[in-house]
Amino acid sequence: MATKKLVMVGNGMAGVRALEHLLKLAPDAYEITIFGAEPYPNYNRIMLSSVLAGGADIQEIVINDWDWYKENRIQLYAGHMVTRIDTKNRVVYSDQGAEAKYDVLIMATGSNPFMLPLPGADKEGVIAFRDIKDCEMMMETSKKHKKAVVIGGGLLGLEAARGLLHLGMDVSVVHIHPYLMERQLDETASRMLQRELEAQGMTFLLSKHSESIMGRKRVKELRFTDGTRVDADLIVMAVGIRPNVALAKSAGIEVNRGIVVNDYMETNIPGIYAVGECAEHRGIAYGLVAPLYEQGAVLAKRLAGVDTAGYAGSVTSTKLKVSGVDVFSAGHFAEPEGTRALRYQDEVEGVYKKIVIHDDRLVGAVLFGDTGDGSKLFSLMKSRESVKGREKELLLGFAVGAGASVSPEERLASLPDDEIICGCNGVTKETIKDAILNKNCTTVSSVKACTKASGSCGGCKPLVEGLVQLYAGDVAGEPVKEGICGCTTLNRDEIVAEISRMGLKSIKEVMNVLGWNNPEGCSKCRPSLNYYLGMLFPESYKDEKESRFTNERYHGNIQKDGTYSVVPRIYGGVTSPSELKKIAEVAEKFDVPMVKITGGQRIDLLGVKKEDLPKMWEELDMPSGYAYGKALRTVKTCVGSTFCRFGTQDSIGMGIRLEKELERLSTPAKVKLAVSGCPRNCAEATIKDFGVVAIDGGWELHVGGNGGVHVRATELLCVVKTEDEVVEWASAFIQYYREHAQWNERTSVWIERVGLDSVKKALEKKKDREALHARLKLALSTQKDPWKEILSDKELRKNFEPLPNAEPVKN
Ligand SMILES: Cc1cc2nc3c(=O)[nH]c(=O)nc-3n(C[C@H](O)[C@H](O)[C@H](O)COP(=O)(O)OP(=O)(O)OC[C@H]3O[C@@H](n4cnc5c(N)ncnc54)[C@H](O)[C@@H]3O)c2cc1C
Ligand SMILES: NC(=O)c1ccc[n+]([C@@H]2O[C@H](COP(=O)([O-])OP(=O)(O)OC[C@H]3O[C@@H](n4cnc5c(N)ncnc54)[C@H](O)[C@@H]3O)[C@@H](O)[C@H]2O)c1
Ligand code: SF4
Ligand code: FES
């Protein structure tokens, strides 16, 4: 029998997924031709949100590349829009003049974004968010324009808004309802979401009815029916979608809202099927991939002649793909009549949960802030099993109460095998476990390749990662890769690379997006992330004080009795009688139990009560010496040529200059400098992080020394002639260390790890040194003296007030 001809109109996610199934079930049954109006191979539309938000490149979202079509002997007409179907003679025609005969025709034309028919909607700068072209347009626009307005506060609108924020635009979201995502959330969850998104920088215009779009050629403003307006250089409409049925309708196929299909995806015309967003099944046209993939599986079986019970419709669940925010919604979340709802709300932790029950069965859920139990609840909802007596457990789940001690591994291990892990692709825990244990898939990408789990929206990636961690160690006998701490498997370089690639802007966002298995982080990763974010984004990152150690929060070294020390900065260790008098007076006034000269040539006032700190700083009126911080500490100097008969250069002047250039700089670990005026090296420069030793006609620059527990002598970096060169090399070296070392790694350990040669190579070209120096200056330009900052801020000052009956803090 001759092979049948199968033509598919539409090269999108649902149609191609159906063909993938078909090719597995009956590889040689059809000669396949696909027409796709977009000029690309099949790609993951869902991931356009990630592309916009900087999480992926367009090339990365291709699902099946050009070769896949060749390998499967599929004739693809990309960039061809089918404009006519002759159902009598069974031929389709494209706008480019191509035609194809069919025995079987699949309509997989998806949806069109709904464009509000406002006056001015045809102006330049008014677009939808549906395809690669829209995505590229937004990225281009953000380079030249600043103000973006998104109409529609649903899933798509908020994901578009997040992407536009990432692109540096000011973003206002216009929503017709009084609260966001009303199709997925109740008002409480929606308000919590709004607060979180406002904190990320979005502005919301709620209960607004758009009236007209103004501007000459290009959009300039959006006006509302209440007489108000908002400036706009770009308007993105995200107000819903409409199944794309025009072609089917013109061919005489029955359409309602979508193309009407039965349980086998058959239309009213024999031989013609529909699948995906364009199809309407039992009155519903779906707009999420999970149900569309279920439809595709049924269609493939039908076409392959494999028995199937047919498609019976789907319960859907959604997750918003906005980093830093966890939102899950499923089923009848809005408490329809006859249902009862149970709620749990923790405003401090930003967690809200609601489950909706009907006839002892779970029929809906909304989760905000902690969506860890989403897939479990969704499975229960689909299974329709009785949840009588388990309501409290479902609501409180693992997040609080008895479950609080359950680790993420235990939580994953306890999931039943038939639990759906990847909602988009309907992949169960059992399938993933099988891939890991029996098919040698020991990474997330190999699990994705094998099972498709995590290949669509990516929302299940942390779960897949968790399962890989849980089972891969056993199968391979290999140690599971170690991360910077127990909360992640990522190392320092991977984290820094991902933060810069994805433009992640807060500790919470990093943990969320990079799948931290402990959502709170720990005392190791939180300060590390705080440092990396500050180093990468010196201008925009707001230091998270709570993620610093006590010493850095109170700008003093905490002592063993809970008191603090105060060390003012004394540049190069050079002071004056009046400064000494002032220090002495303050020490007397505040009864400072001990005044000590430190090894770094500073004066340490020890034993100060926390509540006295601000007053002492005020009276001292000197900059903080940062003796407590991961920062530039001291620059020790010898007297040098000014007084010493051996001195060849002005070591004091050089030291003071370096200290003034570098003070307040935050670094991975403490950094100490010293300058000696001759090779006798009285300032002990060769056990410092950066040591400068004067020689005849120049300076030797030494790096990577340490005088602490692991004593290490410096290695010679280079010899330079002028003071300017000393500053340039010191700045470049320290910035390079800032950009490449692990948090809490001293230069001595770092140099041993990376090797002096690699550092020399990175610094050998003047232009590279200048670029590093410029980045260091930028970082410094954002720093203020912390003591002064606290003195001028009443709220910050309050942190130093004694607690009633407070015990001294113990370290
Ligand atoms: C930015 C964004 C994010 C999303 N995020 C999620 C998410 O997180 N989770 C989720 O479940 N869903 C999400 N969705 C929805 C999901 O992408 C769609 O449900 C899914 O892509 C629909 O697949 P489809 O094949 O039915 O339609 P489409 O993917 O739209 O494919 C239809 C294709 O047919 C082509 N076509 C139409 N008419 C013709 C013609 N006459 N001739 C030739 N070709 C034609 C179109 O150009 C299109 O390429 C998102 C959508 C967008 C836009
Ligand atoms: N994470 C996800 O699952 C995800 C992400 C993006 C898109 N999608 C899917 O893509 C499709 C399109 O998404 P969508 O958000 O555009 O559709 P939607 O229908 O879910 O939401 C549209 C929103 O726009 C609002 N709206 C309607 N008219 C308006 C007006 N005149 N002014 C202001 N607001 C108005 C509605 O109240 C609604 O909340 C949907 O099927 C959606 O499920 C899913
Ligand atoms: S290093 Fe010692 S010997 Fe040389 S100038 Fe300084 S104090 Fe004098
Ligand atoms: S849940 Fe979307 S890819 Fe798995």
**578-587: long-range contacts, CB 8 A cutoff, minimum separation 24:** 579/622, 582/619, 582/620, 582/621, 582/622, 583/620, 585/619, 586/616, 586/619, 586/620
* Pocket lining: 742 vs ligand 4, CB cutoff 6 Å: no
Q: Closest ligand to 149 CA?
A: 2
Separation of alpha carbons 659 and 150, rounded Å: 49
444-480: b or e for each residue (b if 16 or more CB lie within 10 Å)? Answer: bebbbebbbbbbbbbbbbbbbbbbbbbbbeeeeeeee
* Residue keyed to tokens 């020490």: 587
What is the pLDDT confidence band of residue 778, given thresholds at 50, 70 and 90? very high
* Arithmetic mean of pLDDT, 354-378: 90
DSSP-derived secondary structure letter, 681: -
Smallest CA-to-CA distance from 115 within 219, 239, 285, 277 is with 239
Four-residue CA torsion sign, 440, 442, 446, 451:
positive
* Pocket lining: 556 vs ligand 4, CB cutoff 6 Å: no
Q: Which atom of ligand 4 is nearest to the CA of 455?
A: 3
Q: Is 557 helix (H, G, I), strand (E, B) or coil?
A: strand
What is the pLDDT confidence band of residue 395, given thresholds at 50, 70 and 90? confident
What is the pLDDT confidence band of residue 83, given thresholds at 50, 70 and 90? very high
Check if the beta carbon of residue 247 is closer than 8 Å to that of residue 255.
Answer: no
* Arithmetic mean of pLDDT, 208-232: 97
**Residue 476 predicted with pLDDT over 50:** no
* Pocket lining: 642 vs ligand 3, CB cutoff 6 Å: no
Ligand 4: distance of its center to the CA of 647 in Å? 69
* Pocket lining: 458 vs ligand 4, CB cutoff 6 Å: yes
Four-residue CA torsion sign, 609, 610, 611, 612:
positive
Pairing of strands 427-428, 420-422: antiparallel
Check if the beta carbon of residue 199 is closer than 8 Å to that of residue 168.
Answer: no
pLDDT in tens, 602-611: 999 999 988 8
**Residue 406 predicted with pLDDT over 80:** no
pLDDT in tens, 314-329: 989 999 988 778 899 9
Ligand 1: distance of its center to the CA of 361 in Å? 33
Check if the beta carbon of residue 361 is closer than 8 Å to that of residue 325.
Answer: no
494-525: b or e for each residue (b if 16 or more CB lie within 10 Å)? Answer: ebbeebeebbbbbbbbbbbbbbbbebebeeeb
What is the pLDDT confidence band of residue 482, given thresholds at 50, 70 and 90? low
**Residue 58 predicted with pLDDT over 70:** yes
Ligand 1: distance of its center to the CA of 232 in Å? 27
Q: Closest ligand to 319 CA?
A: 2
Question: What pLDDT is recorded for position 471?
Answer: 84
* Arithmetic mean of pLDDT, 62-67: 90
Ligand 4: distance of its center to the CA of 290 in Å? 9
Question: What pLDDT is recorded for position 269?
Answer: 98
Question: What pLDDT is recorded for position 808?
Answer: 34
Q: Closest ligand to 46 CA?
A: 1
Percent of the chain whose pLDDT exceeds 70: 94
For a substitution probing ligand 1, which of 7, 8, 13, 94 has the most ligand atoms within 8 Å of its CB?
Answer: 13
For a substitution probing ligand 4, which of 328, 456, 464 has the most ligand atoms within 8 Å of its CB?
Answer: 456
For a substitution probing ligand 1, which of 83, 127, 277, 424 has the most ligand atoms within 8 Å of its CB?
Answer: 277
Residue 66 phi, psi (nearest 5)? -55, -35
Residue 320 phi, psi (nearest 5)? -80, 135
* Pocket lining: 13 vs ligand 4, CB cutoff 6 Å: no
Q: Which of 90-99, 551-560, 570-579 has the lowest mean pLDDT?
A: 551-560
Separation of alpha carbons 268 and 147, rounded Å: 48
Question: What pLDDT is recorded for position 2?
Answer: 64
Ligand 3 atom 2 nearest Cα: 682
Smallest CA-to-CA distance from 118 within 243, 203, 225 is with 225
* Pocket lining: 647 vs ligand 3, CB cutoff 6 Å: yes
Q: Which atom of ligand 4 is nearest to the CA of 461?
A: 4
Ligand 4: distance of its center to the CA of 733 in Å? 44
**Residue 489 predicted with pLDDT over 60:** yes
Separation of alpha carbons 656 and 411, rounded Å: 57
Interface pTM, i.e. ipTM: 0.92
Separation of alpha carbons 454 and 448, rounded Å: 6
SS (H, E, C) 296-309: HHHHHHHHHCCCCC
Separation of alpha carbons 527 and 529, rounded Å: 5
DSSP-derived secondary structure letter, 629: S
Task: Find the Cα–Cα–Cα–Cα dihedral 605, 609, 612, 613, rounded to 10°.
Answer: 60
* Arithmetic mean of pLDDT, 190-212: 95
For a substitution probing ligand 2, which of 130, 156, 158, 207 has the most ligand atoms within 8 Å of its CB?
Answer: 156
Percent of the chain whose pLDDT exceeds 90: 69
Q: Closest ligand to 33 CA?
A: 1
Q: What is the pLDDT of the chain when averaged over all its residues?
A: 90
Separation of alpha carbons 176 and 155, rounded Å: 14
* Pocket lining: 644 vs ligand 3, CB cutoff 6 Å: yes
Residues with CB under 6 A from ligand 1: 9-15, 35-38, 45-46, 48-49, 81-82, 108-111, 129-130, 156, 159, 244, 247, 276-277, 287-290, 292, 321, 424, 457
**Residue 492 predicted with pLDDT over 80:** yes
Who contacts 311 (Cβ-Cβ below 8 Å, separation ≥6)?
263, 264, 265, 281, 294, 295, 298
* Pocket lining: 454 vs ligand 4, CB cutoff 6 Å: yes
* Pocket lining: 460 vs ligand 4, CB cutoff 6 Å: yes
Four-residue CA torsion sign, 238, 58, 532, 485:
positive
Q: Which of 95-104, 196-205, 276-285 has the lowest mean pLDDT?
A: 196-205
Q: Which atom of ligand 4 is nearest to the CA of 453?
A: 4
Question: What pLDDT is recorded for position 407?
Answer: 58
For a substitution probing ligand 2, which of 111, 176, 244 has the most ligand atoms within 8 Å of its CB?
Answer: 176
Residues with CB under 6 A from ligand 2: 116, 151-157, 159, 174-177, 182-183, 210, 238-241, 287-288, 318-321
* Pocket lining: 423 vs ligand 4, CB cutoff 6 Å: yes
For a substitution probing ligand 1, which of 46, 131, 323 has the most ligand atoms within 8 Å of its CB?
Answer: 46
Bridge partner list, 128: 237
What is the pLDDT confidence band of residue 646, given thresholds at 50, 70 and 90? very high
Hey, how many other C-beta atoms are within 10 angstroms of the C-beta on 137? Answer: 17
What is the pLDDT confidence band of residue 560, given thresholds at 50, 70 and 90? low
524 vs 120, which has greater pLDDT? Answer: 120
Separation of alpha carbons 802 and 811, rounded Å: 17
Ligand 4: distance of its center to the CA of 376 in Å? 14
Ligand 4: distance of its center to the CA of 296 in Å? 17
Ligand 3: distance of its center to the CA of 670 in Å? 25
Q: Which atom of ligand 2 is nearest to the CA of 287?
A: 41
Check if the beta carbon of residue 667 is closer than 8 Å to that of residue 733.
Answer: no
Ligand 4 atom 4 nearest Cα: 422
* Pocket lining: 640 vs ligand 3, CB cutoff 6 Å: yes
pLDDT in tens, 667-719: 999 999 999 999 999 999 999 999 999 999 999 999 999 997 778 999 999 99
pLDDT in tens, 225-283: 999 999 999 999 999 999 999 999 999 999 999 999 999 999 999 999 999 999 999 99
Ligand 3 atom 4 nearest Cα: 678
Q: Is 359 helix (H, G, I), strand (E, B) or coil?
A: coil
Check if the beta carbon of residue 363 is closer than 8 Å to that of residue 332.
Answer: yes
Separation of alpha carbons 417 and 60, rounded Å: 31
* Arithmetic mean of pLDDT, 57-66: 86
Ligand 2: distance of its center to the CA of 277 in Å? 14
Ligand 2 atom 30 nearest Cα: 176
Question: What pLDDT is recorded for position 325?
Answer: 86
Who contacts 201 (Cβ-Cβ below 8 Å, separation ≥6)?
165, 171
* Pocket lining: 437 vs ligand 3, CB cutoff 6 Å: no
Q: What angle do CA 656, 662, 663 make, to 5 degrees?
A: 85
Q: Closest ligand to 49 CA?
A: 1
Which of the listed ranges 13-22, 340-349, 452-461, 479-488 does the model predict with the highest average pLDDT? 13-22
Residue 649 phi, psi (nearest 5)? -135, 165
Q: What is the pTM of this model?
A: 0.65
* Arithmetic mean of pLDDT, 537-566: 78
Q: Closest ligand to 172 CA?
A: 2
Ligand 1: distance of its center to the CA of 702 in Å? 60
What is the pLDDT confidence band of residue 546, given thresholds at 50, 70 and 90? confident
Task: Find the Cα–Cα–Cα–Cα dihedral 578, 579, 584, 590, rounded to 10°.
Answer: 120
